[in-house]
Amino acid sequence: MRLRFCGVRGSVPAPGSEFVRFGGNTSCVAVTPTHADAPSLLLDAGTGIRSVTELLAGAAFHGTILLTHLHWDHWQGLPFFGAGDRDDAEVTLIMPSGLGDPLEVLRRSMAPPHFPIDPKGLRGRWSFEVIDSGPHVIEGLHITAGDVPHKGGRTFGYRVEEHGRSFAYLPDHRPAAAMSDRAAALGLARGVDLLIHDAQFVAGEDSIAVEYGHATVDQAVAFAVDAGAAELVLFHHSPSRSDAALDRILDATSGAPLRVSIAVEGLDRVV
């Protein structure tokens, strides 16, 4: 599988010269299965989804957008996804079950007077579906969905597997203290080759991390170690975290008992 980090920020986009190297767009990871030439699975649809249009080099998107949850930063790029908003596009948008009818839920924020069109105004063949926790096959990939602790509505993390290789995507996750409450999230990340994990806050910011349901960097590292992940990619960077601050975070993780890297917009990874 080939992964492209299209958006790596949390909460809101971060424009400006201080955010150039790591990128300022919100959450989106494009996945190209080994049997395909172009991405057919998009994890979340933050503002980073706009770059998928360039990645497709003029082709329409045919595939699935899989949302972890419905906070704005994870789907605010949807109406600006050019490769999906054209007559020859075929898009299945899937969100966690239990939040209501998916089309109606999206319309609460994407419809007049909040936005000029509603989701049905997107061109192409769009379908809107829900997913339950458990195993699924999506775009030829084996995907396990599971609940993870995060404030403000049901939130899923995903484990993606193909040909014995695996990665987990937990962009918004407050690791629980009790092992019994950590079991589902740990199951998603157990032994993965790559763990993409929420690291919006740092030590000293734990009170606000608790308030908003996110992880600190040290909690992300501890969770990855508990899960036995081979590599941790810190993700969902704070919109106030400059390139220089992210450099310092990476330096501070140099003694971690596993490989730690930081998600960079535009970076390709093969899993």
- 95-104: pLDDT as tens digits: 999 999 999 9
Mean pLDDT of 91-113: 96
Model confidence, pTM: 0.97
pLDDT band at 181 (very low <50, low <70, confident <90, very high): confident
Mean pLDDT of 266-270: 97
Mean pLDDT of 134-138: 98
Is the pLDDT at 179 greater than 80? The verdict is no
Distance set, CA 105 to CA 64, 65, 69, 136, 215 (Å)? 18, 16, 11, 23, 27
Spatial distance between the Cα atoms of 53 and 230, rounded to a whole number of angstroms: 31
- Beta sheet of 90-96, edge-to-edge order: 125-131, 90-96, 62-66, 41-43, 28-32, 2-7, 268-270
The pLDDT tens digits for 204-260 are 999 999 999 999 999 999 999 999 999 999 999 999 999 999 999 999 999 999 999
Is the pLDDT at 199 greater than 90? The verdict is yes
The pLDDT tens digits for 75-84 are 999 999 999 9
Q: Which CATH superfamily is domain 2-270 in?
A: Ribonuclease Z/Hydroxyacylglutathione hydrolase-like (3.60.15.10)
Is the pLDDT at 176 greater than 90? The verdict is no
Spatial distance between the Cα atoms of 254 and 271, rounded to a whole number of angstroms: 22
Distance set, CA 23 to CA 7, 49, 210 (Å)? 7, 13, 25
Spatial distance between the Cα atoms of 143 and 166, rounded to a whole number of angstroms: 10
What pLDDT was estimated at residue 210? 92
